[in-house]
């Protein structure tokens, strides 16, 4: 049996707590997460965790922050007129991080990212986009639209997040029930996979969104 009091003194940090929580949610799903179970995974008493995350809400916010940190490490800020390429990297980096941690998707869709580091990062992005000639409101709109689209698309792509398996069946499971005379197009989709390539759909949609914003006149 691990010595949990010793574990609390053995290098436990906020980052280690959040990484362990991410691992737990990836394996068991968000509904299963509790401070007690997380403490057991780390080999410490649950009370030890409160030194690093003051409550369960702070833990959930921290999970979102940790995934965003993973998504945007090395992204930097746009420089000059390269903001469309920067936005593509922003969207694809966010999607990759969310696919790697699907259990956090419900949190990413519902909890704002307002940590001090996230706010400083957002401030840098907005300042760089304004320096490139974009109005402030439009710059924030572009970032928010791409983030919202990316989270929603990835949630649909993943389908069932950990802990929520066994819900509604997908289209393929309905194939035997579909009448070819009534549903020829849907059956062709099932047979050919036309329109079901998430990678190409995401890439094309992101490019269209960015191109649309880039084409807007600047004041």
Contact present, 209 and 83 (Cβ < 8 Å): no
- The answer to whether position 176 is within a domain reads yes
Both 186 and 99 in one domain: the answer is yes
Both 95 and 171 in one domain: the answer is yes
Q: What is the pLDDT of residue 160?
A: 61
Contact present, 122 and 130 (Cβ < 8 Å): no
For residue 175, give the nearest of 159, 157, 158, 193 by alpha carbon. 193
Q: What is the pLDDT of residue 5?
A: 46
Q: What is the pLDDT of residue 63?
A: 93
Question: Alpha helices of 10-159 — where are they, by DSSP H?
Answer: 14-28, 35-42, 46-49, 56-72, 83-100, 105-110, 116-131, 136-158
For position 10, which CATH number holds?
A: 1.10.10.60
Both 81 and 145 in one domain: the answer is yes
Q: What is the pLDDT of residue 161?
A: 57
Question: Which tokens is 51 given?
Answer: 């030194």
- Owning domain of residue 16: 1-54
Q: What is the pLDDT of residue 162?
A: 55
For position 203, which CATH number holds?
A: 1.10.357.10
Both 48 and 125 in one domain: the answer is no
Q: What is the pLDDT of residue 177?
A: 84
- The answer to whether position 68 is within a domain reads no
Both 85 and 12 in one domain: the answer is no
Q: What is the pLDDT of residue 100?
A: 93
Q: What is the largest CA-CA distance in the chain?
A: 68
CA distance 18 to 204: 34
- The answer to whether position 61 is within a domain reads no
- The answer to whether position 71 is within a domain reads no
Which stretches of the chain drop beneath a pLDDT of 70? 1-10, 160-170
Both 49 and 82 in one domain: the answer is no
- Number of domains observed in the structure of the chain: 2
Both 12 and 105 in one domain: the answer is no
Both 87 and 155 in one domain: the answer is yes
Q: What is the pLDDT of residue 168?
A: 47
Both 97 and 22 in one domain: the answer is no
User: How big is the chain by its Cα radius of gyration, in Å?
Assistant: 21
């Amino acid at each position: 049996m691990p010595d949990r009091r010793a574990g609390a003194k053995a290098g436990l940090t906020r980052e280690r707590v959040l990484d362990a929580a991410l691992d737990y949610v990836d394996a068991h799903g968000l509904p299963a997460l509790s401070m007690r179970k997380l403490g057991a995974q780390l080999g410490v008493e649950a009370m030890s965790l409160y030194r690093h995350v003051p409550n369960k809400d702070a833990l959930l916010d921290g999970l979102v922050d940790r995934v965003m940190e993973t998504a945007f490490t090395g992204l930097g800020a746009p420089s000059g007129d390269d903001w469309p390429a920067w936005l593509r990297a922003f969207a694809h980096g966010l999607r990759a991080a969310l696919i790697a941690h699907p259990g956090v998707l419900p949190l990413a869709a519902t909890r704002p990212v307002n940590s001090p580091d996230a706010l400083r990062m957002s401030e840098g992005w907005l300042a760089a986009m304004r320096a490139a000639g974009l109005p402030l409101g439009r710059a924030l709109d572009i970032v928010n639209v791409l983030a919202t689209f990316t989270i929603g698309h990835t949630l649909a792509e993943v389908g069932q997040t950990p802990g929520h398996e066994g819900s509604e069946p997908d289209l393929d499971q309905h194939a035997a029930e579909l009448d070819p005379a009534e549903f020829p197009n849907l059956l062709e989709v099932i047979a050919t996979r036309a329109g079901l390539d998430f990678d190409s759909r995401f890439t094309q949609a992101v490019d269209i969104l960015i191109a649309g914003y880039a084409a807007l006149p600047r004041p």
